[in-house]
Amino acid sequence: MTLPPIISRVVSTYLALLRFVAGVSMAIIVAVMIAQVWSRYVMGGSLIWAEELCRYLLIWQTFLVLGLAYSKGEFVALDFLPSALSGRGRWVLKAVTAIPIIVFLAVITVYAADYASRFGNQTIPALDFIWGSLFGRPLGLSITYVYISVSVGCGLMILHVLADLVTSFGQHMQVAHQDGQDDEGDVIGTGGRQG
């Protein structure tokens, strides 16, 4: 399915931003873990904030790239039933299975946001330590920003599931019209093969 140019630009910018954020967060995780190993085994001390900071970055990275992995088909899937169906049947199966997925993700999004909102007064200890070491006072960044990653990731995943449905429906319709036949081999009314 061909998207309008402005939507295509928005989608490509969004995907590029996701890849960039994932790459930067992984680079930070690797750098901090190398510094932690160096500090522990060469310098004889340990960076007490390294593990916590890497854990929070990995949580955000995971939830941000879930939708990207789904869009690329990198989730584990059983495809014996879809492969036995026609093009239209595959899309109907995809649409039917998308409904409980979207409902589940929506429920998780709402409850995760509620859960995250309960920790507004608790701060992130690792960032408080780093900031306090550098500037003499704690940063005071709420741990809500870590917990809200679940809501953000599930919300983005809903968008990816919906986008997959729309694009696969468009591709299915485009193939059917190019063939001039529907899935059962019957000639369709608009410009199909005659006789």
Length of the chain: 195
Q: Whole-number mean pLDDT of the chain?
A: 81
DSSP string covering 115-139: HHHTTTT-B-HHHHHHHHHHHSS--
pLDDT-derived band of residue 171, with 50, 70 and 90 as boundaries? low
pLDDT-derived band of residue 170, with 50, 70 and 90 as boundaries? low
Q: Which alpha helices (H) appear in the chain, and where do they start and end?
A: 5-41, 50-71, 80-84, 87-117, 125-135, 144-147, 149-179
Instruction: Give the span between the Cα atoms of 35 and 47, in whole angstroms.
Output: 8
**pLDDT digits over 16-56, tens only?**
898 899 999 999 999 999 999 999 888 888 888 888 889 99
Read off the tokens for 23: 């790459």
Query: CB within 8 A of 110, min separation 6: which ones?
Result: 151
**Amino acid type, 141:** L
pLDDT of the residue at 33: 93
Question: For the residues 101-119, what does the mean pLDDT come to?
Answer: 93
Q: Under a CB-based contact definition with an 8 Å cutoff, are residues 22 and 40 in contact?
A: no
pLDDT-derived band of residue 3, with 50, 70 and 90 as boundaries? low
Instruction: Give the span between the Cα atoms of 149 and 59, in whole angstroms.
Output: 7
Whole-prediction pTM: 0.73
Instruction: Give the span between the Cα atoms of 164 and 91, in whole angstroms.
Output: 10
Residues facing residue 123 across a β-bridge:
142
